[in-house]
Structure 1
Amino acid sequence: MPSFVVADAAWAKNKGNTPAFSAGGQIYFRETMPEQNRGMYATHEITHVMKQVGYTPYLDFVSKTPDMLDMSTLEARILLEHTAKHRGIDPFNTSLSETDRLNLYDELNATLYGHISSGNMGGLNEILNTAFYDFSAYTKELNELHERFKSDNQKKWKEKTRYSLKNYSDAEQRDHRKKAIAFFGKTYNWNETGYLTPAGTKLDFSGRHEGGPGGYRTVDHRDIRDAIGEDYGGDDYSGSMVQFMSEGNIRISPESGGINLSVEPTKSQLDALSDFIGKNRGEVILDLDTPDGQTVSSTEYPRGTHSSKVLNDIKAYFKDGTKPHVSELAQFLSLKGTENAQEIAALKRENESLKARVEYWKGQTRRSQGVTTDRKSVQKAANALVKDYGAEISGSDIAGDLQSLYDFNPRICQW
């Protein structure tokens, strides 16, 4: 899926503090993102992408999302109200347009899936189990939708990306790499890297060759044609990328931890990849292609994966065709590590004041403008809700849950 990194200075002028956004099926990330919630951004935006590209199974899911919420509960109503406020929509407007309705529940799904996929649920499980008739079923179906979307995209790629490669001599291939280095330049910064050559050289795709400031990758991998020649890779724009990879160059997508190769890597490349995997703390995506551009395998490795695991998977594939596999145990241990860290953090917060706890949740889920919730205001709102609904409880009985829901706001959004 196309993704790009934008410099902090340019981002701040246009997008404020929001760490990511998606548009037209493409995802854009801010150069510097908070480490704590890094795992939430991509999956949040991929959910939006499913809507943007008109993915029918997801659109069907969005249409039935309202029926999954138990609107007789205060938790569901407040959850929906806050999501709607984020999108500038009145959720209880009886004449709500189909477009607003789609945007509202897409935003809800994207926000929740960011938390679900990253395992960063904090204290939200109890609230969401009340807000939904069956939150476990909702989670299961949304997870399956993302897996299906990924699989369908891979199938389309296989059907559409078959390229006729030209058999260049070794001398010609060396000349191609020489031209690429001369045109784009070398870099020692993984964040700027577009390709890794057989000699282990990192090609600088930060845009410095065009006068850019550098610091992150901004150049499309397919622009390798600009360095080698307009006829390189054939008539299709992507053909140049496929051709260059078939000559032993590994495509690197530093913004997502992506490694894409179609030819067995050299020792120099394996050594460099070990460093790249370590830099990403094992959280990388390995795509193995045929030389003519068909994806054979796409594997996401969880944080904490040792570089030797990824490198051995690559070696095994090129030795006997064994496709990489991440065990459920490894996935569980990665998630468990995240949960343990959260439990430790929770214990440290146990004796903190209410203000400190509110600040914590603001840091987890605030939007670019931020939200400050006042305890007295929450109590007042709780009393008003009890009065409006004629409930036979006191405002104090629901003030705690209400406080948590007010602090739960979508952190990232779609433009």
Structure 2
Amino acid sequence: MRTQVGIIGAGPAGLLLSHLLHLRGISSVVLETRDREYVERRVRAGVLEQGTVDVLNEAGVGHRMRREGLPHHGIELRFGGAGHRIAFERLVPGRSITVYGQQEVVKDLIAARLAADGEVLFEVSDVVPDGFETDKPAISFTRADGERVRLDCDVIAGCDGFHGVSRPAIPPGVLSVFERDYPFAWLGVLAQVPPSAEELIYAQTDRGFALHSMRSPTISRFYLQVPPDEPVANWPDERIWAELRTRLETVPGFALTTGPIIEKSVTPMRSFVAEPMRCGRLYLAGDAAHIVPPTGAKGLNLAVADVRLLTEALAAWYATGSTDLLDGYSDTCLRRVWRAQHFSWWMTTLLHTFDSDDAYGRRLQRSYLDYVTSSDAAAATLAENYVGLPFEDVPADIPAVPPAFPEGHRP
């Protein structure tokens, strides 16, 4: 097989990259070890930054998002028996978030790729990226029917997540890794109940953090801070609802709507960055290169920022032969990644209980919560980072369709 860009991973990063490249006239093949049903049902983040919404709309895959997504113009910080709204429309005019599940984004992207005759190969196995330190990279893999295949390409994009094969394929000593584990996890709950509030509620309590979110007018999403090794079996439905009530029903007049729980899982909290996000002609994007705690809602949005930039860099390379954007890909991405790392860490430390015996730490936490909800300057910083910083400018005059290169020759 032969293509221009071989993409490992059919999550949001890999699928969006493939579609954006298609719009620029660049061919790609996406390889995914899971089956299509699993990929489309995998529940992950649901908060889309303004920039992510804009990219999906500009790529022509935002029709259903505009119809079914839930635009939000603020969030609530709840602590000390009161709720405090961070008003995006006042603090960052013209910018907001949209609640639309990651699995829905994936469904839209798969449909768009298949409608354009894009190659998305599910249920492949034994994926091995190779030759990326030369000008002849390739990916070997086994098809679902058992046939072993070699995919020759100009570039490999590793979009296969934290546990994928792309990052481990990079030789030892190339990457520097920065990471932090947190002393708690999130118990995530998907419930078939209408949301109890119109916007997300971030609740800080002495018993731990809680988040009220939503996926649709009939499906709600909740999170509870729990110990890092907590078994899901310890949380029957009745205990979950009781704890959510305790942590969320702290404001007069607020009542939590309860009902059937359709999914629950425990997710450890981690911060992770591997840099540079490139080795030769292998480029890492999304969770393959960086992980953030979900408190700041940045994971999916960082992946979109990565592949947006990688698309422009590849388009410039194919169209003009210039490697400037490709050479700057890692540094440019990492500026945004580290800003998101700091914001996610800050939100996490602001809202979670780290040590129940640390009275000094709790007073510091309360002091900053009071400050961020009483100072427009502090609230504007939170709002600006939450809705997403603007993308860095890239050249707007790159030709849409790259010229054909003679056989055996690439820039």
Output the TM-score relative to the length of structure 2: 0.25
More relative contact order in 1 or in 2 (CA 8 Å, sep 6+)?
2
More helix by share: 1
Instruction: Look at both structures and tell me which one has the larger radius of gyration over its CA atoms.
Output: 1
